[in-house]
Amino acid sequence: MRTVFDPTDPGTNAYDLLTSIVVPRPIAWITTVGADGVGNLAPHSFFNVACARPPMISFTSVGRKDTLRNVLATEHFVVNLVSEDLAELANASSAPFDPEVDEAQAVGVRLEPSDVVPVPRVADSATSIECRLHSSTELGDSHLVIGEVVAITVRTDALVDGRPTMDALRPVSRLGRDEWGHSPEVFRLERPRRA
């Protein structure tokens, strides 16, 4: 037996259902700077790789949040990895601050200059992905943002043979409700090759 939910039914909360089913979701802890020079730091769990050649990433802003306004105004943003030791700060930065409040300052997150874009990165994050706006598409009450990756930085101690390792990154993820996920238990499956 199954329960069927009609997403067009006003009693159905599609957001709650989808965010409880599409799990785990990686977290883009995005730094931006507005046209007025005020910084913004916010976690977004509707986030993924959009293209490898050229490298692009995507995130969705549910509603017209400060992150979206800043990206549209300045055309730059940085995605920072949320590791286990940064989860509390990432969660704190998701509070509904006023637009004139810099979340990083408000919750005590250290920032440092990025290498290419004019937006700072989270100093204690093991990785950051610096992006230039490629496009933004309105989807219902949300906006899908595609960013062209212009630089990827990884803390050297998180690299093994030139690639980041899960043991060093310790990423957390968003699950349903108020649930977060610890770094996953890793197992290996060799990908099939063409015959």
- Dump pLDDT digits (tens) for 6-52: 999 999 999 999 989 888 989 999 999 999 999 999 999 999 999 99
Write down the H helix ranges in 87-153: 87-92, 103-107
**CA-based nearest residue to 71, from 125, 144, 153, 128:** 144
Structural domains present in the chain = 25-179 (2.30.110.10)
Which stretches in the chain have pLDDT values below 50? Answer: none
Pairing of strands 180-181, 173-174: antiparallel
Specify whether the CB–CB gap between 62 and 142 falls below 8 A.
yes
Residues pairing with 10 in the sheet = none
Partners of 139 in the beta sheet?
142
How much is the pLDDT for 42?
97
pTM of the model as a whole: 0.92
Using CA atoms, how far apart are residues 176 and 29, in angstroms rounded to an integer? Answer: 18
User: Do residues 39 and 32 lie in contact, with contact meaning Cβ atoms separated by under 8 Å?
Assistant: yes
pLDDT at 64: 86
Strand partners, 44: 28
Q: Can you give the pLDDT at residue 153? A: 98
